[in-house]
Chains A and B, each alone.
Chain A
Amino acid sequence: MKTATCSGEWWKQRAVESSRNAADQAVVLEAITVACPGKLILDAIDLRVPLGCICGLLGPNGAGKTSLLRLIAGLLKPGQGRAIVLGMEIPAREDAVRRLIGYVPERDGLYDEMRARDHLEHVARLVMPHDRQRRQAQLREVIRILALDEVLDEWCGSLSAGFRKRVALARALLGEPKLLLLDEVTNELDPLARVDFLTWLREWQRARPDRTVIFATHVLGDALVVCDRFVVLGRGKVIASVTRDELKTPEGDERKLEEALRTLLVRA
């Protein structure tokens, strides 16, 4: 089991080595610290997420999951440390990073007064301004894979929580993002919609092995269904970063997985 530690500035010596093999990593964070007046939001985070996996970001409320996603999306600048997302350093190339990222925030980020179609067309115009044909093709594609035909012309304010999440997800998928950041997307979903969503996510990623998903949740069961890797956060620190295989018993039994993760979460 790998446990993240941080002491002194040892990460600086590793910087050259890490930039060499950063090519196969979607996210490389080294001793990242983010603070706002009077509070440390992220405390010396050291994390690696390889390309082509679904990484679960687990932790109790206030652990720093959302802040970490915002940092990866280039919305927060690291106070200290080094962040490389999709091979590009943040904040130096944060504009380029933002173009390669799809992000679904916890509160879905939809405007109640606009239709689902308006949202999708707006984002499509932003990410593919001069490619009308490709824009139309991608709009059709996301509408098909998320089954949004029936709600396209409805006001977002009148949509159910499940459909709102689907519209938000469709918006994030436009422009073929290489890294998909999902923040507590299964909140407010009923049990059936939750299972549907998790199944869809698993299949979507399997069909596109070059895409990486970081899925922040505080629901252990959801992470266990879809994730290949688990990162446990607590009070702004990485408590553990482990793969599914590392958590299995030597016989390959997954039944103890939940127990092992629960132990880590208690530590968080």
Chain B
Amino acid sequence: MSVRERTPMLTCFWELCRWEVARTFAARERGRRLLAFLVMPLLLFAVSAPIIPAESVALLLQTWFGVFVLILFPFAALSSLLASAVAGERERGTLEVWLLAPVPDWMLALAKVVPYWLVGLLYDAALVSAATGVAALAGQPVPLRGLLMSLVFAASGSLTVMALQVSISAWAESTAVAQQFVVLLLLLPGLAAFAIEPVTRFLFHSLDSFPVFSFSLGALPVMLLSIFIVLRAVRRDRLVLRCSQASNRSTRTRR
């Protein structure tokens, strides 16, 4: 039996995730920019802690709006990467090699979402911990239960958005097209939030008294639906057929 016939899939899945992260930060320009973008707020927290009154930081953690700003930050930073997750492979000509990984289609799709999701969540945890630390050290009240639940909410919400972003990337002809839709996807919930009065009330609601758990539970079907969409979008034959169509079009254009 050839060694290629015995490949444990979970190990392959983690290798694909590792490769995705390594590749992201290895790109000299993009990696540095992204790293700077992610490190900057943490540094700002560290530097400004003695200057900014801890009451302000504590106030940031009191309402949903403040926490939203914190937890959405890394996912906004990562959205450009997700726009190129599949469309970029097609543009670079690496699509076929990526699709040859010895894992089923659904694992291939999740390997594009999970690494960025974990990076975003780790960053969220660091950012919220830093803010909590500043407020706690100054003796300000910190809504711990609310913060923990908001992280749970961030986890489900970000997975939903990221799965949809990867689906858009698989559907789009190029990274540029994907990026336009990904930005829209980020803007729409914000616009909707401010347009609908109950949502505005929710945003400025006290963090500790809002029924976060039931709200997260309500978001579960949406999350499952978005995962279903990404699993349908990232399928080998579909992606390769789109690639063939695109190359035919470019051949015609050259002629």
Q: Give residues in A with beta carbon < 8 Å to B.
A: 36-37, 39, 41, 61-62, 66-67, 70, 73-77, 95-96, 98-101, 103, 105-114, 118, 122, 125-131, 134, 171, 175-178
Contact = CB atoms under 8 A, between A and B. Distances in A.
Contacts of A76: 236-237, 240-241
Given A130-B11, A177-B4, A62 B100 contact: no
B15 interface: yes
Given A125-B15, A130-B11, A113 B23 contact: yes
Contacts of B141: none
A255 to B, nearest CB: 35
Interface of A is mostly: loop
27 contacts: A36-B245, A61-B251, A62-B248, A62-B251, A66-B244, A67-B244, A70-B244, A73-B96, A76-B240, A99-B4, A100-B2, A100-B4, A103-B96, A105-B93, A108-B93, A113-B26, A113-B30, A113-B31, A118-B26, A125-B11, A125-B15, A126-B102, A127-B3, A127-B102, A130-B11, A175-B2, A177-B4
Nearest to B241: A36
A88 B119 CA distance: 39
A36 B96 CA distance: 18
A129 to B, nearest CB: 4
B221 interface: no
B29 to A, nearest CB: 9
B97 A100 contact: no
B240 A118 contact: no
Given A109-B96, A127-B4, 16 more contacts: A62-B251, A70-B244, A75-B99, A75-B100, A75-B236, A76-B240, A99-B102, A100-B2, A107-B94, A114-B26, A122-B15, A127-B102, A131-B3, A171-B97, A176-B3, A177-B4
Interface string B6-45: 0110011001100100110011101100000000000000
A41 B7 CA distance: 32
A218 to B, nearest CB: 13
B237 A98 contact: no
Interface string B239-255: 01100110010010000
A134 B93 contact: no
Contacts of A61: 251
Contact of B15 (A41, A111, A126, A177): A126
Nearest to B105: A95
Contact of B100 (A101, A107, A112, A114): A101
Chain B interface extent, by class: 35 or more
A216 B236 CA distance: 21
B89 to A, nearest CB: 9
B197 interface: no
Nearest to A36: B241
B104 interface: yes
A98 B93 contact: no
Contacts of A131: 3
Nearest to A138: B3
Contact of B94 (A36, A99, A109, A177): A109
Interface-centre pick from B101, B103, B240 (highest chain A CB count, 10 A): B240
Contacts of A114: 22-23, 26
A221 B149 CA distance: 67
Contacts of B5: 96, 99-100
Interface in B70-99: 92-99
Contacts of B7: 99, 126-129
Nearest to A96: B5
Contacts of A171: 97
Nearest to A73: B100
B99 A128 contact: no
A103 B100 contact: yes
Interface string B133-169: 0000000000000000000000000000000000000
Contacts of B22: 114, 118
Contacts of B241: 36, 41, 76
A110 B28 CA distance: 16
Nearest to B19: A122
Contacts of B101: 126
